[in-house]
Amino acid sequence: MKHFILVPDGAADWANPALGGKTPLQAAELANINALAAVSEVGSVQTIPDGIDPGSDAANIAILGYNPKTVLTGRAPLEAAAMGIPMREGETAFRASLVTLEGNGAYEDLLVKDHSAGDINDEDARSVITRIDRELGSENLRFYPGVSYRCLMIAKRINAEEKITPPHDILGRRVGDYLPAEPEIRRLMERGYAILKDGETAANAIWLWGQGKKPSLPPLSERYGVKGCMVAAVNLLKGIGRCAGLTCPDIPGATGTLHTNYGAKAECAVSAFREGADFVFLHVEAPDECAHSGDMDGKLRSLKHIDQEVLLPVLTYLKNSGNPFRILILPDHRTPLELRTHTSEPVPFLLYDSKNPLPPDGSRVFSEVCGERGAFLPSGEALADRFFGGSQG
């Protein structure tokens, strides 16, 4: 049995007046996904447990069958794992996002203009974070480049208990209202702006958040008896994959934006199955990035790309392979365009079993509304147990 999970990050949304009261999933061109939904179970699942912030770290860990309350320490250490950065006892990893602040006057009075510094490219991001490391780094403090704006800081002896608001949650808001209480973290963020404010890129500041200690996840091979591959552009997902015992190949042109190489991701998934993997987890960041930017057209286009350039070639391969297979499609969380940030509401899921397809029903589509009519599962673990080991409801 082959298993394929497709996660269009942040695709779930709210009804939008600009779309005639539809959600982006209802309005997007999803011919292949909806054709599959007609013979699949469509329901909803609570990927974010009560008391947990609706981050992509918690949600994707839940989709893989883990309980975020027991295994999640923070997103930054997962990204460190993806980047091959060893973490030692007592160290804390922080996301050091490259951001754009705007305004005049004191640092605290600036506004968060862009959480991604204009989708800064990898080369410019490396140059910026190398400068930060040169100016702020020490024996106990190091900065590392990641993918685009998603850089890291590894620190010793910094109190990191408090939750720090992610920059994509405070676009257009005053910096001083969201600065952490810990003086050393505040100092580093303010010093970062002083260093970068007159630079040549849109990255004129760093934002430290998402901190945590080194994580530990039981391998999926032990939990569900599967071995396989994580296909993703962003280091957060690669880190989750590595910690779960999955391979995490680099994909040419995979950017984590609307302009990612969708076809290369599909090819990577097909190659993994051909080479013996029985499980592939394929993550596409683009819908979430578009929603954070309030880009409705981009979110709709990203969903169409996923339908035509990601699902179709993988589904075609699986149908022609002669092997039985299951496909699970779901967003990790909702990212409503109206809010431009994540919410904790249930998300729709589509579960297809080639050995036991449901009788065709054209009214069954992949959407929030249709999901609410179907079975409700209280956790990602419950859905993963059903997907890897069980029958449809």
State what percent of residues in the chain have pLDDT above 90: 91
Tens digits of residue pLDDT in 102-128: 999 999 999 999 999 999 999 999 999
The pairing of beta strand 205-212 with beta strand 91-102: antiparallel
- Domain ranges for the chain, please list them: 2-72+216-389, 81-212
- Phi and psi angles of residue 221, each rounded to the nearest 5 degrees, phi first: -65, -30
Q: Residues 6 or more apart from 206 whose CB is under 8 A from it?
A: 96, 97, 98, 99, 129, 132, 151, 153, 188, 189, 192, 193, 196
CA–CA dist 393, 43 (Å, integer) = 9
The answer to whether the beta carbons of residues 37 and 358 sit under 8 Å apart is no
Per-block mean pLDDT, blocks of 10 residues, the chain (393 long): 98 98 98 98 97 94 95 90 89 97 96 96 97 96 94 91 92 96 96 96 97 89 95 93 94 94 98 97 97 96 98 98 97 97 97 97 97 98 92 38
Q: Are 22 and 325 in contact (CB under 8 A)?
A: no
Please name every residue paired with 206 in a beta bridge, in sequence order, or none if there are none: 98
For residue 97, the number of C-alpha atoms closer than 13 Å in the C-beta half-sphere is: 25
Q: Which CATH architecture does the domain made up of 2-72+216-389 adopt?
A: 3-Layer(aba) Sandwich (3.40)
